Amino acid sequence: MERFYPIGIPGQPWTDDDRQAWFDAQTIQRSYHDEVVTSLDALDDAFEVSAYGSLPIDPDRYRLFAVTVSSSKPEAPWALITGGVHGYETSGVQGALRFLHTEAVTYQDQLNLLVAPCVSPWGYEVINRWNPNALDPNRSFYHDSPSEEAAALMAMIKGRAIDFLVHMDLHETTDSDETEFRPAVAARDGETYEPGLIPDGFYTVGDSENPMPLFQAAIIAGVEPVTHIAPPDDDGQIIGADITQPGVINYPCVELGLCAGMTNARFTTTTEVYPDSPRATDEICINAQVAAVKAGLDFSLAAASG
Ligand SMILES: [Zn+2]
C-alpha cells in the first residue's frame, strides 16, 4: 500500500508508539483561556457558568465548562447547544459563545438553555480533530466512552436529568478534513485512504432515525441569508451521503456515536459551516452558527407550543 500519511505502516493499525508519535507532533497554537474562558467570565448575570470536569492531560488548563440560565423556568422546555466537540472547528466554539453574548438573553422567558461551548479544549488549542489519545470525540458518544471529552459531557447531561426539546451540535467541514484528518483516520486504522470532496457551503446532518425534515429546512432557511448552502456533488451527495433536501444529509447518529445522538431530544441536528470557502470569513462563519441556532430554537419552540 502506498504511504499517504507520515505515521505508522500503511495497511497496519497504529501501535501505541505510533499514537505517541502523532501526539508528539501536535503543538499548541492558540489559547483556550484567552479565547474561550475569558469570554465565559464576561457573560451576563442571566447565565451561570459551572465546571463539569477537566481533561486529565492538564486538568487546570483544560477545565470543561457549561453555561446555563441562572434561574430555570419549570414550565419552559430545555435546549442543549454544544460546540467544539471537534476542537479545531473554530466557529462551533465561537458561534456558541457569540450566541450566549447576543441572542441567548432574548430566549430567557421561553426556553431554558444549557450550552457547552468547547467540549474539546485540547483540540481547540492544537487545532486538531482528535483528542490526545488519537480518538475522535464525535465518534465516541457511547456507554463507557474512551474519550474523556465525550464521557464528561455525557455524565454532566445524565446528572442533570433534563428532557431536552432540542439539541444542536455546532461543527465545521474544513479543507483539512481531506488534507489531514481523513488520511489520518485511515492510517490509524490500517485502511486505505479514499479521497473525497469537501462541499463548498453550509449543510446540516440530521438523524436518519429521527430526521425531522421541517426542522432541518428551517435551519437551512435561517442560514441562507448569512452564507451559501452547500450544493450536492454530481451524485446528489454531500460527503458521500445522499441529500434528503437542499443542504441536508442524515446519519445514524446513535449508531455512529455522534454527539447529536446523546440525548432523546425531539429535534437534533449537527451544523456544518465551511470556513475555507473564498466566499466565507471567520465572522460569516460565526454568524452562520448563530443564525442556525436561532432558526433551530425558533422552530422547536413553535413546534412545542403548536
Ligand atoms: Zn466536526
Q: Assign 13 to helix, strand or coil.
A: coil
pLDDT tens-place string over residues 167-223: 999 999 999 999 999 999 999 999 999 999 999 999 999 999 999 999 999 999 999
Q: Which H/E stretch holds residue 269? A: strand 267-273
Distance between Cα 73 and ligand 1 center (Å): 32
Distance between Cα 306 and ligand 1 center (Å): 32
DSSP 83: E
pLDDT at 306: 79
Distance between Cα 199 and ligand 1 center (Å): 14
Q: What is the DSSP string of 39-53?
A: HHHT--TTEEEEEEE
Alpha carbons 230 and 18: distance in angstroms, whole number = 36
Question: Are residues 296 and 281 in contact, defined by beta-carbon separation less than 8 angstroms?
Answer: no
pLDDT at 58: 98
Distance between Cα 101 and ligand 1 center (Å): 23
C-alpha cell at 250: 442524515
The domain segmentation of the chain, as residue ranges, is 16-305
Distance between Cα 272 and ligand 1 center (Å): 7
Name the architecture of domain 16-305. Answer: 3-Layer(aba) Sandwich (3.40)
Kindly tell me the sign of the dihedral angle through the C-alpha atoms of 5, 19, 64, 59: negative
Distance between Cα 208 and ligand 1 center (Å): 18
Distance between Cα 85 and ligand 1 center (Å): 7
pLDDT at 1: 83
Distance between Cα 182 and ligand 1 center (Å): 12
Distance between Cα 120 and ligand 1 center (Å): 11
Distance between Cα 74 and ligand 1 center (Å): 33
Distance between Cα 172 and ligand 1 center (Å): 5
Q: What is the DSSP string of 190-251?
A: T---------SSBEEEEETTB--HHHHHHHHHHHTTTSPBPPP-TTSEETTEE-SBTTEEEE
The parts of the chain modelled with pLDDT lower than 50 are none
Question: Are residues 154 and 262 in contact, defined by beta-carbon separation less than 8 angstroms?
Answer: yes
pLDDT at 64: 98
Alpha carbons 241 and 237: distance in angstroms, whole number = 5
C-alpha cell at 219: 435551519
Distance between Cα 13 and ligand 1 center (Å): 23
C-alpha cell at 99: 450566541
pLDDT at 207: 98
Distance between Cα 45 and ligand 1 center (Å): 30
